[in-house]
Structures are given as C-alpha cells and as structure tokens.
Structure 1
C-alpha cells in the first residue's frame, strides 16, 4: 500500500507472518546490530547506530541518516530522518499481533521531500527503498518459516544501485606485511603490487571463496586477453597458461596463496581477507620473479595491462559477492 503526493511520501510495506508477534519482535530488537537478521546486507550498506538500540541512537544506512525517536522493545521502532538528506518525517517498523499464532510486520514512511530529494525520490530512491523493504520482509519470512513464498525481484535501477553502492572501489596499496605466505614464497620479486576492495558486512570472510571468485570466474574481457596471450607468446617459447596457474598452493588463516612456477617466471598471488565490525577488506597481491631474458621481456609487456586486469577481476568478484542472488544463497 503506497500513497504519495507530489512532495509528500506515505509508503507502506507489510507482511503477515504465521508466528506469534513476540517471535518477530525478538528479530526487530536486533535492528542495527552486527547480527541483524532482517536488514538485507551485503546487498545494501548496513544499518548502524552510535550506541545500542534505544531512543537517541543516531546513525542510518549509507547516506540515509536518521535517529531512533521512539522504541517499544519487541513491538515498535520509530526513526526520524535527518532533514539534511531531503526527507522530513519518520519511518517506523512495528509488529502487530493478528492472533495467538500470527502477526503483521509493517514498515511505514511518512515524510515530506525537500530540495533534490523531490527529484531523487521518484527517479531512484523509491524503487531502491521498495526493494530493500521487500527484501527485509523476505528475510523475516525466511527467519521464522525457513523459506520465502515469493522472493523479491530486483528491478534494474535497484541492481544498478547495488552495483554502485556495494561493489566497492578498487584501490592500489602497498603489498601488506600481513601477506606472509606471499613474502615467504617470492621474497625478491621483479613485480610486486596489491589492490584492495572494501565490501559490507555479510560477505564471505573465507579467502578461498574470494580466490575462487576472482580467478575462477573472471570478466569476459580478461578471459579473452588470456586466450590472446597464449597465441602471442607461443612463438617465443613461453608456456601456454591454463587454470592451473591459479591453483591454491597454501593457506594460513585469512590468507591463501596461489600460483605456479614456469620456465620464464615464477608467479604467486595472495588473497588476504581482513574483516572488522564495519565490513571486510579483500586484498589481491601479486609477486612475480623472472627466470630468463624472455621472462623479463614478457613481464615488461604484461606489467602494462596487469593493473587493469587485476582491478577488473577484483571488482567483479566484489560485485558478485554483494549481489541480490548471492545474498539469497547465503540466507538459504
């Protein structure tokens, strides 16, 4: 049910759940916590507050800022928007009993739009909000019944927002000292670089999962470049590369090591996963050491495209990790 004027918003999402209200109320009381069972992370940036859930707790999700203006444990949370975002009003989550073994979980926005939000709300914010709330209700249904009868379908504008918000920006960085396996494997590399991406809470913290995501499912353009590479290097006596070059050769805690030795150079790649309370940093580091003149020439050419290739592979893995499909798989 949604009723909206030109500048006023009244937006309601609700779902009947076949369990007592107290059971859903316990889920609601974990809103904004690290183990929030309802908020659809990692698709969307998590809801976070500056203190435990209580009146006065200040925070929001991403650029959408608000504070807790009313709280009845197990029943109702009211949030008041920070007017700087262009919404003046509240959004409320509440659990309404429908009998001894049924309840209604409802979210309602009542607000006026201001400034740029008068354009942004109908253009993109509303569809993202509707998608987030239906995904949240899916999570509630799954938590209490074990399945979802009609899962939310992400429209293209919501998928675009997820890609831009959750996929993360890949940044160059020094090879981290914590990549101990990599430093031990090739301590004197001729090529050494590292790139990191930051992803929201809820993504995998298993470095092997990330290694598979980066190297076993690269972008199509990277696959095409690898095939071209095999054609070009053959006349120069350099071995053709295959997927075995990205086999895992070691693991220690949050780091996995991949790579191979060839006649022209030795190659190692490290995936290092560093989780914290606000998300996870995934770093892909590379060391390569040449063995011959052909290897040095090869590395000189490959080094020109290597940063772009690594960025593309890491960016794709990050976006897939926070995709709606990935979240549904994790939740199931």
Structure 2
C-alpha cells in the first residue's frame, strides 16, 4: 500500500489559494510545474467524471469541492489502484495548508517501478508544485526544492527519444538552398499539451543547449579561424522564414550554407538540417562535423521536448 503525503503551509488565504486549485489541469493552470514536468491535462473543465493525466499517468476526476479539494482516481492500467488528491485546508485568515496525498496499491510492473523510480519522481514533482503554489500566492519559497541526483538521472533516461526520420517535403525546405549536399532529420513525439508554435520549439532546441553541446560550440569558435573558416555568433540560428507550423533558421558562410527546419506536426516535432557545401574547406569541415551532428541534434531535441511550455499561455 502506498501512502504518500506532501503538505506546505502557505502564507495566503485559503480562498486565494483555492481559486488556483480550481484551475489545475486547465489551459490557465498556475500550479502544475510544467514545462519542467509533463503537463497535467484534463479533457474538459475540472469536474467529476472528467478524464485526464500527466505523462503516462492517467486518471479520472471523482470528486471536486470548489476551492477546497479535488480527488482523482487512477486508471488501473497504470499500475496504481487508488486515488491522489489535493486539499486546501484553512489555518487562519492569512494562511492555509496545501496537501497532496496518494493512497493506492501498486499492481503489475508498478510494484517495482514505484520504489525504484516513480516514487522519487513523484516526490520531486510535488515539491516543485508546492514551490509554484507559494510563488503564485505571492510568497516565493526561501529555499526552492532541488532535484536529487537520482531524479536527474531518471529524468535524463526517460526523456522522449529522438529518432531519425526522412526529411519532410515542405515548401520552406524545398527552397531553402540552391543545392543540397547533405541532409538529415530527427523527430520526437509532441508531448501532451505542449505548444505547437515552431518558434518556441526552435528557441528551446537551439538557444538552450546542454552544457556539453555549448562547450562544443565554444570550441568550434576557437578553432575555425585557424583553418580559414568563418566564425558564427548567435545569428546562426536566427529565423529566416516561417509558416504557421514551420520555422526555418540558418546562415550562409564562405565555406557552406545551412538551414535548420523546425516543423510541428500533429503528433511529433521534426528538426531537419540541409547543407550546401561551397568549396573544399566546406567539405573538410562537414566531414568532421557530420560525425557529431546527429548526437548533438538528438540531444537538443530530447532536451527541448522536456522543456517546452504548454499550448495555451497561462493567464493570471
């Protein structure tokens, strides 16, 4: 039997905090700690009987007391037989306790997954949520929650996989370069509730790289001048064209021209790269870079999939 309890004393009235509780799982949810975690998405406004979930965890709303509590009953196919709930409990006129409780039995593979991984992920998610509750109430926590080493490793291992796919045939890519000497494409599943704005995805992919990718780019800047290749700053990933579902980025230099396309399809996001090699320096440069390029793009795309915001911007 799993009984997991988290609670936080919030220096704000229960009526103020409870108003935010009633928006959980909706497009204007201010509590759920997305995009750091898979968004909670309900299929309709919060009410008994509404289906929803976050990531692979599915459930149904089975009780809702506006401003005070909401109870979700797990879909037993996820390996949990029971409920999780939020409660806002008044302490006095200026404070309340926010509580989250899981009461459930594990079944099937979840008997192993819960103690090894899911419990630790759940604890980290809920503590991040409690930080958001305090922040939205106007009192940011003095010591924000931090993920443990184990949570960071599990999160890294469970990010969506970026797989190689055929380069899409789109109008922007078709006219991106006068000649294409090399091309590839990688895709990740579109996370539930994630934005479909290609500009947001492009920023998440190319302007928020992991440390090791940023280090490679810095090393590239230091080395290229020695072999007569142009350096490139942040403008290398500036948009050059866009449509509603695709944005094209890139630059033309003396040794090569390249374009990167970020395409948001209904169920996946595709990052494509096309390259036009101008001369021998470009061919030598690409002969080296193409060895690292797939790993770099896969990593940046997986990282972006875990960080992009929800489709509808939150509103206060």
Does 2:7 match 1:14? Answer: yes
Does 2:193 match 1:191? Answer: no
CA offsets 1:8-49 (integer angstroms, 9 cap, x no match): 222111111122211111111111112321111122212223
Task: Please name the residue that 2:247 is paired with.
Answer: 255
Does 2:134 match 1:141? Answer: yes
**What is the deviation of 1:64?**
1.8
Q: TM-score, normalization: structure 1? A: 0.76
Report if the CA contact (8 A) 1:44-1:162 is conserved.
no
Number of residue pairs matched by the alignment: 303
In structure 2, stretches of 5+ residues that fail to align are 309-313
Alignment counterpart, residue 286 of structure 1, candidates 250, 261, 273: 273
**What is the deviation of 1:108?**
1.1
Q: Distance in 1 between matches of 2:230 and 2:269?
A: 25
Q: Distance in 1 between matches of 2:291 and 2:6?
A: 51
Moved more, 141-150 or 218-227: 218-227
Matched residue of 2:183: which SS? Answer: strand
Task: Please name the residue that 1:111 is paired with.
Answer: 104
Rg larger for: 1
Task: Please name the residue that 2:30 is paired with.
Answer: 37
Q: Distance in 2 between matches of 1:318 and 1:62?
A: 12
Report if the CA contact (8 A) 2:25-2:42 is conserved.
yes
Matched residue of 1:145: which SS? Answer: coil
Does 2:67 match 1:74? Answer: yes
Report if the CA contact (8 A) 1:205-1:275 is conserved.
no
Matched residue of 1:45: which SS? Answer: coil
Distance 1:179 1:154, change over 3 A: farther
Q: Distance in 2 between matches of 1:138 and 1:153?
A: 10
RMSD of aligned Cα (Å): 3.5
Distance 1:25 1:298, change over 3 A: closer
Q: Distance in 2 between matches of 1:136 and 1:94?
A: 13
Task: Please name the residue that 1:269 is paired with.
Answer: 259
Q: Distance in 1 between matches of 2:6 and 2:46?
A: 22
Distance 1:121 1:97, change over 3 A: same
Moved more, 299-308 or 112-121: 299-308
Q: Distance in 1 between matches of 2:6 and 2:253?
A: 57
Task: Please name the residue that 2:121 is paired with.
Answer: 128
**What is the deviation of 1:315?**
3.7
Matched residue of 1:43: which SS? Answer: coil
Correspondence list, 1:90-109, <5 A = 90-109=83-102
CA offsets 1:215-263 (integer angstroms, 9 cap, x no match): x9652785599589859x94xxxx335334835373546624222222x
**What is the deviation of 1:152?**
0.8
**What is the deviation of 1:107?**
0.8
Q: Distance in 2 between matches of 1:150 and 1:179?
A: 49
Q: Distance in 2 between matches of 1:183 and 1:295?
A: 22
Task: Please name the residue that 2:311 is paired with.
Answer: none
CA offsets 1:116-157 (integer angstroms, 9 cap, x no match): 333322222211111111111111000011522221111122
CA offsets 1:251-305 (integer angstroms, 9 cap, x no match): 546624222222x4x32222426387x9xx5543222223346655765675565
Q: Distance in 1 between matches of 2:239 and 2:35?
A: 29
